[in-house]
Structures are given as C-alpha cells and as structure tokens.
Structure 1
Amino acid sequence: MKKLLFTCIAATLLMACQQGPVRYTQNSPEIDTVKKLIANYDSKVFDTSMYADTSKTYYNTKDNPMSPSETMDYHKQTDTNYSSRGFQKENQDYEMVVTDDGETWVNCWLNWGGTLAANGKEVSIPIHLTYQFAEGKIVRELGYWDPTEIVLTLQQIEAEAKMAEENSASE
C-alpha cells in the first residue's frame, strides 16, 4: 500500500513539474529575425524577405497599413530628412511571447537617434516595435513613437525657407 501511495505521489509530482510550451523568452529565431531587420534598417538595406507577402505594417496608426515594399519605400523617403540615423546599440530590449490564442509576437523597445540634414539638429526618440510571426515570417508590424519634435522642426525649417523666399522675391 505504501508503494502504491508513494508511486501515486511521485507520478503527481512528475506531472506537475512538466512544463508546457515556452510562452515567453528573450532568445528565439523570431527575435533574431527582428534584430536582423533592425540591423538592415541601420545599414540602409531595404530587404523584404523577412515579411510574408500579405504582411501589414502600421506606424503610429491603426488605419492605412503598408505592404512590405511600401514600408521600405517609407524608410527611403524619410531618410532624405537625415544626414545620419539609426537605432542606438545600448538599452535594446527584446522579448517573444506566445498569446493564449497561439499567436507569436516579438516586442522590442529601442532608442532611435538621427541628425536632421537641414540644420544638424540631433534627435533621440524611444520607440516600441512589435511584430507578429506566422511560419517564420512577419505578418504584422506595429510601431509607436512620438514624432512631434521632428515634425515641428521640419515645419519650422520649411516656414523659414518660405519666408526667406518671399523676402528675396520682394527685394
């Protein structure tokens, strides 16, 4: 009887100690894919191979998604505003989670820095990016940051250029 009781207790403990699938990690192939995507951005390599063809990207919006090629075009267009730009190497945090619905997401918190080409002003912005994966490919990308400082500075530069143009035309 003691053996039976001991066997039942041991079996119960063994089952209780078995872990299910990993639902949170800071090391995964998906995180490596995101790190490669960030490195590509920093090197101005506009590669869409990490995205599924149907992937949708949303930056600071929940409407008007961009396709992978439109996302790369967006980066190329915004690059014209900067003499240099990229993600800072320190304080980068990455995590992968599997939701209760079985979706795989990689979240990252990064600091971005850039120097405006028009006036040399340096800007640093914290950014949150999150990527949903399916079958090893990015199927959805969400990016959130506060662009206010850059937008206001570019508007000021544009207004000053317009005023200078008007002043030279009236002379």
Structure 2
Amino acid sequence: MKKTHLSLILMVGLAACQAPVRYTQQSPEIETVKAIFDDFLAKNWEGLRSHYAEDAQIFWNRLESNPQTLEELITEAQNEMDMFSAMSQDHLAFEMVTDDEGEVWVNYWGTWRCTLSANGESFEIPMHETFQFVDGKVVKDHGYWDNSPIASSIMKWEAAQAAAADTVSMD
C-alpha cells in the first residue's frame, strides 16, 4: 500500500514538473498568422485588423526605432497593391516559440509571388516574418524581404515611359 501511494505521489510529482511546450509547429497562433496572410492577399482589411492588438507595432523592413501602426500599413498596402496583377504566397515553414522571457513568437518563412501590372514582370521574393502574440493578438510584426528587384523594375518602366513621352513631345 505504501509503495502504491509512493508511486502515485512520484507520478503526480513528475507530471507537475514537466516544462511547458516551448516549440511547436501547430498552434492557434500559427493559424492566426495563416489567416493574416489570407486576409492581406484578399485585401480584407477588417479581417486583417481583427488579428492585431490596437497598439500593435509593425516593422516591415524597419528598425525597432521606427515602427509603423497597423493603420499606416493598411494605407500603404492599399496604395501599393494595385500595382500588381497577381499575388500569391507559398508557405514554407511556420513555428511557434516561447522564449526565455515567456514571450510567444510565431516565425514564418515563405515566398511571395507577384506580377507587376505595368510591365507583366513576375517576381519571387523570399521572406521571413515573425509575430509576437499577447492574449491571442499580434502586438509586434517584424517582416524582412528584399524589395529591390521590384523597385528596379518599376524605375526601368518609369524611365522607359518618360523616354517615350519625350520622344512623342519632340515630334
């Protein structure tokens, strides 16, 4: 009987000592990040807003000292997304990590595909984004990718348009 009680106490003690899961590839937060990408590509701005805390800070190719608000991001996206005739995203990997301070982060690696409406040029842009969650909402969103191929293509197209306009006005 004593052995049974001792074994039971030992099992309960061991179960209580198990550390919380610090890494996973399946979580409600990961599903939220997938929904964020779906809402962004669909230009569903209200849906996008629903995933972020009111005071969320956005750092898309920005330093910590220069955050963007969600409203600023949405305004910028609304202005820029019309440049593209097609957009999609391939999700390569998601992971959720609880760091040593107890902060919950979802990391994402993927490829953004887009086609410029002006010249039909297509791009595949590798990207990484990491989201900090508090109470089920994104409070920080850090995104990193190289926009320079798109910017270069736009500048070439604009230069060609300006050259064509100069040629027409000289005639």
TM-score normalised by L of structure 2? 0.87
Kindly provide the CA deviation profile for residues 74-128 of structure 1, in whole angstroms up to 9, marking residues without a partner as x.
221221210111213xx52110001101111000011110011001111111110
Q: In structure 1, the residue corresponding to 2:108 is in which secondary structure?
A: strand
Distance 2:17 2:146 in 1: 44
Do structure 1's residue 50 and structure 2's residue 51 form an aligned pair?
A: yes
Cα RMSD, aligned residues only: 2.2
Report how far residue 26 of structure 1 moved. 0.7
Report how far residue 142 of structure 1 moved. 0.6
Distance 2:15 2:26 in 1: 25
Q: Displaced runs of 4+ in structure 1, greater than 6 A?
A: none
% identity of equivalent residues? 36
Q: In structure 1, the residue corresponding to 2:50 is in which secondary structure?
A: coil
Instruction: Report the counterpart of residue 77 of structure 1 in structure 2.
Output: 79
Instruction: Report the counterpart of residue 88 of structure 2 in structure 1.
Output: 86
How many residue pairs get aligned? The number is 164
Q: In structure 2, the residue corresponding to 1:80 is in which secondary structure?
A: helix
Distance 1:82 1:142 in 2: 23
Report how far residue 134 of structure 1 moved. 0.7
Distance 2:133 2:142 in 1: 12
Distance 1:154 1:126 in 2: 19
Counterpart residue type for residue 117 of structure 1:
S
Report how far residue 16 of structure 1 moved. 8.6
Report how far residue 17 of structure 1 moved. 9.3
Q: In structure 1, the residue corresponding to 2:146 is in which secondary structure?
A: coil
Instruction: Report the counterpart of residue 108 of structure 1 in structure 2.
Output: 108
Instruction: Report the counterpart of residue 159 of structure 1 in structure 2.
Output: 159
Distance 1:82 1:26 in 2: 31
Kindly provide the CA deviation profile for residues 17-54 of structure 1, in whole angstroms up to 9, marking residues without a partner as x.
94211111111111111011111112221131111111
Q: In structure 2, the residue corresponding to 1:123 is in which secondary structure?
A: strand
Q: Which runs of 5+ in 2 are unaligned?
A: none
Q: Which deviates the most, 155-164 or 63-72? A: 63-72
Q: Which runs of 5+ in 1 are unaligned?
A: none
Report how far residue 11 of structure 1 moved. 3.6
Is the 1:41–1:86 Cα contact (8 Å) retained in structure 2?
A: no
